[in-house]
A and B are shown apart, each in its own frame.
Chain A
């Protein structure tokens, strides 16, 4: 028998009996950040590939979602802060050791880029749009001239943003469920998949949807592969890691994870996308909705479950 008790009495809010300091705001932000990263990456990618015309939704229309998602995500992050009026302290220092620190700076760069990207297509999307000020017109001309360079920068920052949503968690040594470097690529792939799902949902062009569905299918397969590796790593690990994995293999998150994230969020949409590629009729909204739901649940469950896992001593 082993029994541990706080004999002095200790029941600190959000710390005891188990840690629960991060609530819905963090997973919502991780979801929106990953989604924006996915949308911006593929917008940049198809511009670099010179397919602006064929992939109209991907390049010109869907990116409108990105700045909205980023602003909402930033707002969620702000809501999570407990000492809100001091949030500006984030931008008074550069701390490379702190993932949250360089994440804050990444957002500070990619959010304006996403706005500039959307703005540079305003004239094409809304006939008769004009910027009213001369310097804005000049800036627009400059952006359009250097669009491919901007696309490259945007793709790189989208990857950083996507990876960051995972690294934010994996940097915490004290939470064994998070403390695995596979979380970076896993969140990146999952974020890109949710971004693709959003574009597929918005696109009216069957050909564009087909191209995106094919890419998305690859991402879903990679994601399943990474999830398998995640658990292989845990089960081959120390007792803390095995205990973390057991939350999903018989523990309290088993049903929610395997049903909501893996079956509804990955396997079903992969099947439907395959059927669609084969030419069968599948409601256009169905696979994207499932992917978005699965992507959000994945982050929500990882944040909730990770806080429960801890060192045993």
Chain B
């Protein structure tokens, strides 16, 4: 099993619903967020291109944050989900330094917090909160090992990219372009 997400940059309008849904679902403290939207503009007027990316932890296959954690608080859950155990985390910040995507932050309570791919929902067979609320249906979540999952179907016939593949982290967010 390998959970992953596909983000359709052509359909995303940057509304920010995924961000609010995550903050509500996961009780993210005020002023923090586990996912966010980047708007990227390329070119010069009048030939401009626009891309919206709903970003979050890439749940990398080769995750530097898990590797550098001195206590084992950062670990890999079922389906490759990268997770943090708060009572094992000492808040040293090594994982925050190691993430090329700046997807982790220091929770006001001291431990390091991040996107969990809504593990608690996924275990119940639900989708992640961000995927569930997306009004344009531009987010696709599922098991890459299952050829009929939402995410497998989404990336099957489309061109896609991952962010900073040169970092060697084998990220699992697929941005459809």
Number of interface residues of A (CB under 8 A): 49
Q: Which residue of B lies closest to A5 (CB)?
A: B39
> Is A101 close to B, CB under 8 A?
yes
> Is A175 close to B, CB under 8 A?
yes
Which of B40, B42, B69, B167 is A311 in contact with, Cβ under 8 Å? B167
The answer to whether B16 and A82 touch across the interface, beta carbons within 8 angstroms, is no
Residues of B whose CB lies within 8 Å of any CB of A are 14, 16, 19, 31-33, 35-44, 52, 64, 67-73, 86-94, 96-100, 102, 105-106, 109-112, 163-164, 166-169
Centre residue among B31, B41, B100 by max chain A CB count within 10 A: B100
Q: How far is the CA of A97 from the CA of B93 in the complex (A)?
A: 16
The answer to whether B92 and A3 touch across the interface, beta carbons within 8 angstroms, is no
The answer to whether A174 and B92 touch across the interface, beta carbons within 8 angstroms, is no
The answer to whether A19 and B36 touch across the interface, beta carbons within 8 angstroms, is no
Which residues in chain A, 1-20, are within 8 Å of chain B measured between CB atoms? 1-16, 19
Known: A1-B41, A8-B36, A89-B90. A311 touches B100 (CB 8 A): yes
The answer to whether B42 and A89 touch across the interface, beta carbons within 8 angstroms, is no
Known: A84-B110, A95-B70. A100 touches B19 (CB 8 A): no
The answer to whether A2 and B41 touch across the interface, beta carbons within 8 angstroms, is yes
The answer to whether A8 and B163 touch across the interface, beta carbons within 8 angstroms, is no
Q: Please name all residues of chain B whose beta carbon is closer than 8 Å to the beta carbon of A100 when the two chains form the complex.
A: 68, 70, 92, 94
Q: Please name all residues of chain B whose beta carbon is closer than 8 Å to the beta carbon of A173 when the two chains form the complex.
A: 64, 98, 100, 167-169
Q: Please name all residues of chain B whose beta carbon is closer than 8 Å to the beta carbon of A22 when the two chains form the complex.
A: 93, 97
Q: Please name all residues of chain A whose beta carbon is closer than 8 Å to the beta carbon of B99 when the two chains form the complex.
A: 174
Q: Which residue of B lies closest to A12 (CB)?
A: B105
Q: How far is the CA of A33 from the CA of B166 in the complex (A)?
A: 33
The answer to whether B88 and A89 touch across the interface, beta carbons within 8 angstroms, is yes
The answer to whether A5 and B38 touch across the interface, beta carbons within 8 angstroms, is yes
Q: Which residue of A lies closest to B65 (CB)?
A: A174
Centre residue among A4, A92, A97, A98 by max chain B CB count within 10 A: A98
> Is A87 close to B, CB under 8 A?
yes
